[in-house]
Amino acid sequence: MRTFVIRLVIIALASFGTALAVNALRPSGSIALIRPSQAELAMRDGITPLHLDTAQLYYKDSAILFVDARPASIFKRGHIPRSLNLPEEDFDSLYAGFAAKVPLDRPLVVYCDGIECRSSEILSKKLKEKGHKYIHCFFGGWIEWRDAKLEIEK
C-alpha cells in the first residue's frame, strides 16, 4: 500500500510539473494560475477602480461627473444624485448626446448596481475607446452607496 501511495504522489507531482512547463511554454503566453481581480483587469484597460470611500470624496467635487450605466427604468427608481444615466446597452444610440454635454477631459465615475454587475466595466471601456481620459469605475456601485446610507435621488 505504501508503494502505491508513493507512486501516486510521484505521478501527481510529475503531472503538475508537466502542466506548469507546458503552460509556461505556450506560444500565445501562459495562462494565469490565479485569476486577476476585477479591479486589476480594469486597470489593464486604463480604468481606475474606486472604492466607496474614494467615491464619496469624488462625489464632493462637482467637476467629477458620476455616470450610471444601469437601464433608464432602474435609474429612475433611485440613483446617486447629479449622476447622468448612460445605459451600457444603449451606448451606441445615446453616446452622441452624452458627448455633446461632456468633454473628453472631464473626470468620470462610472457605476452600476454593484460588484456582480458588469455594466460599469463595459461602459468604462467604451468611454475609454471614445477618448475619455479620466475614467474611474466604482465597482461597489449603487448597492454599496445605498447601503452606506449616503445621499440618493429618486
DSSP assignment of 60-125: T-TTSEEEE-S-HHHHHH-B-TTPEE--GGGHHHHHHHHHHHS-TTS-EEEE-S-TT--HHHHHHH
pLDDT in tens, 121-133: 999 999 999 999 9
Residues in a beta bridge with 120:
none
Place of cell 455594466: 119
The one-letter amino acid at 119? S
Residues in a beta bridge with 55:
none
Place of cell 468620470: 108
The one-letter amino acid at 109? V
C-alpha cell at 57: 470624496
55/95 Cα distance (integer angstroms): 24
pLDDT in tens, 41-76: 666 778 899 999 999 999 999 999 999 999 999 999
105/64 Cα distance (integer angstroms): 10
pLDDT in tens, 88-130: 999 999 999 999 999 999 999 999 999 889 999 999 999 999 9
Q: Which residue has the higher pLDDT, 112 or 22?
A: 112
pTM comes to: 0.78
Q: Which of 97, 96, 98 is nearest to 108 (CA)?
A: 98
